[in-house]
Amino acid sequence: MKNTWKLKLRMILTFVVMFSIVYFLIMLVGLYLGIASWKLYCGVSLIIVFLQYWFGPSLVKRSMHVRPLSEAEAPHIHQMVQELAAEAGIPKPEVGLSEIAIPNAFAYGRSSRSGHIAITRPILGLLDRDELKAVLGHEMGHIKHNDMIVTAAVSVIPMICYYIALSFMFSRDNDNGAAIIIGILGYVFYILGQLLVLFISRTREYYADAASVEFGNRPAALASALYKLSYGASNCSKETIDDVNSGRAFFVNDIGNAANDIHDFQQLDFDGDGKISDEELRRLANSEITISKKNGIMELLSTHPDSLKRVKKLAELQ
């Protein structure tokens, strides 16, 4: 397994920073309300993070409309998951089917010992076997790295900051401006928190891609799957995308940026067959790529890495 200490360190630092943010805001709110107890602040902060950790998988399952997918229904899916779990050295995750009209897959759970992998129905008719197994390997990488629960736990903190900001910025009782200051700080921390969540989300995707390759999948198969999934998402209505937009960080690719991703993939699809071959990926490995300033800024606001940078990393694993 590729050394993941940098990923683990970044997840720990992100968690510490996010916990500090929510602790500081709760402390300010407590002082504003006349409550001065660091134990209470710490307790409330820990409770918030724990509740997200504990109920996060159930919330993902419900919001993504996941039901168990039995082995009798999809024996080939279960076989692939079993093989990948053996390669990863973790227990076989539960397999589910998500009734979402967007071709994709995602992982969730509290740890590598209680992981879940879910596929959406449209992905079954879109990817070939190698591509599907590469995607499942990517999700197995998330479970192996235990990164999905960190993302789920910290993602709630920016929203808490946002609601605190709204509550205090428009409070009628400003208390000599104290409420407005808390509101402004809440909004600043909301933006900072969102950027941190997006950063750790992008980082974990690179490691999950590498894990899929280490589990025996071809880099070109995963690149080709990302290409096809972008096409699949681009054919979905805006309403369909918006319905699951809050959970897009869990998907293999950024479903909200599908049109731009297709444009990038088309630059790599030299023969125009709608797939990325081994030879096309080898050509990319020996080429330099240039990311426009616009795409660089868009990446900062995305849950997933820029598609060209991501496939370039895969090409280097070829």
pLDDT tens for 18-49 read: 889 989 999 998 988 888 787 888 888 888 87
Rounded to the nearest 5°, which phi and psi values hold at 2?
-55, 140
Is the pLDDT reported for residue 69 higher than 80?
yes
- Integer angstrom CA distances of residue 166 from 109, 122, 133, 169, 222: 31, 39, 44, 5, 42
139 is catalytic: yes
Give residue 246's pLDDT. 77
pTM of the prediction? 0.92
Q: How far apart (Å, rounded) are the C-alpha atoms in residues 233 and 107? A: 18
Least confident stretch, 214-218, 225-229, 254-258: 254-258
User: pLDDT tens-digit profile of 82-118?
Assistant: 999 999 999 999 999 999 999 999 999 988 999 999 9
Rounded to the nearest 5°, which phi and psi values hold at 97?
-115, 125
Query: What value does the mean pLDDT of the chain take?
Result: 91
Q: Of 87, 131, 139, 299, which is the active-site residue? A: 139
Q: What is the mean pLDDT of residues 164-182?
A: 79
| Residue partners of 163: CB distance under 8 A and separation at least 6 | none
Give residue 1's pLDDT. 53
Q: How far apart (Å, rounded) are the C-alpha atoms in residues 35 and 130? A: 58
